[in-house]
Amino acid sequence: MKALVYTGTEKIEYKDFGDPTLSNGESIIKVSASGICGSDMHAYHGKDERRIPPLILGHEVSGIIEEGSEKGKKVVLNPLITCGDCDYCSSGKEHLCSKRVLLGMNRPIERQGGFAEKVLVPDKNIYELPKDLEINKAAIAEPTAVALHAVELGENIIKKPFSDCRAVVIGGGAIGLLCALLLEKIKKCGEVYLSEPNEKRLKVCSENLKSNCINPKVSKLNENSFEIVIDSVGSEITRQTAIKLVKPGGTIIHIGLTQPSGIFDFRKTTLQEITFIGTYCYTNKDFENTLNILSKNQVGDLGWIEYREMSKGADAFKQIHDGTCAAPKIILIP
């Protein structure tokens, strides 16, 4: 088969790769669409010790079962593979399983990803495509589940209705935009801001949100003025921004993985009872709820997704790296 293979730092090659071999309890999926995630970019930059080249990246996948017990079925993949036996898995918190792995990862267990014509997936991770959801759009399910889980973590912590809250999302990538869409369209948050310094991406976000979209280089938000701050970037500077913007007693939801450490105002966190939540993925229930949300167009028509040929995927990675890509999400089509 043909695949887009991560071969070294900032190197992606479209080349021949061995077909997956069918295993018990698993199916081979003919990939219809596969989205580029921020974690794929971390690997591309050589900053993910779980993803070592050569490796097929990609875990936001939809397709058709080519080999397996339900051959021919149109499906969406939940790429988060867990043990199914530990206390976390048994209590509906499988996203915290210590043995969890993702498609497109080779440490601690190798799982080739979805930037290929075919991918092997456990049957328990396969969901039938909802009838009202286009198969190519369905690849957005995984990041939408991440955003939904993050927003609802905040909702469970804050002590008043979202309708009475002000929220700001830092970062206009797919996760950030999806968080803002969920806050605006489903949670009916009182006031929502999205902050994004890339003018091209900011324009796309502003066209798809009724919320306030600002460039932090041009417009400054008032400090101590938001009950909810969602950092979808996860850099030292965005964490510093988050702690400045959050109100006393407010909540910071940290999703991004750009930088693992850096200076942070723990004094304000302590003195003003700031809740800091780290979150990375989602539960199986979140994933199921996400498919329902997407099938009903509850976060809009997803017109901000850009589709490209997988054979030209290396150019997409380069443009995301260079900051010249306007789209919050690029989905590759084999």
Residue 324 is encoded by which pair of tokens? 């010249």
CATH class of 144-278: alpha beta
For 106, the 3-state DSSP assignment is coil
pLDDT band at 169 (very low <50, low <70, confident <90, very high): very high
Among the listed residues 108, 99, 55, 57, the one whose alpha carbon sits nearest the alpha carbon of residue 80: 99
For the chain, give every domain's residue range: 2-129+304-333, 144-278
- pLDDT tens figures, 170-191: 999 999 999 999 999 999 999 9
Is a pLDDT exceeding 90 seen at residue 101? yes
Position 89 scores a pLDDT of 97
Domain 2-129+304-333 coded CATH 3.40.50.300? no
Among the listed residues 232, 254, 35, the one whose alpha carbon sits nearest the alpha carbon of residue 141: 35
Mean pLDDT, rounded, of the chain: 97
The whole-model pTM stands at 0.97
pLDDT band at 239 (very low <50, low <70, confident <90, very high): very high
Q: What's the angle, vertex CA 136, arms to CA 11 and CA 5, rounded to 5?
A: 15
**For range 287-313, the mean pLDDT:** 98
Give the percent of the chain with pLDDT over 70: 100
- pLDDT tens figures, 219-238: 999 999 999 999 999 999 99
Is a pLDDT exceeding 90 seen at residue 161? yes
- pLDDT tens figures, 103-133: 999 999 999 999 999 999 999 999 999 999 9
pLDDT band at 85 (very low <50, low <70, confident <90, very high): very high
Give the percent of the chain with pLDDT over 90: 99
Position 116 scores a pLDDT of 98
Burial class (CB in 10 A: 0-12, 13-18, 19+), 334: buried
For 195, the 3-state DSSP assignment is strand
Is a pLDDT exceeding 90 seen at residue 159? no
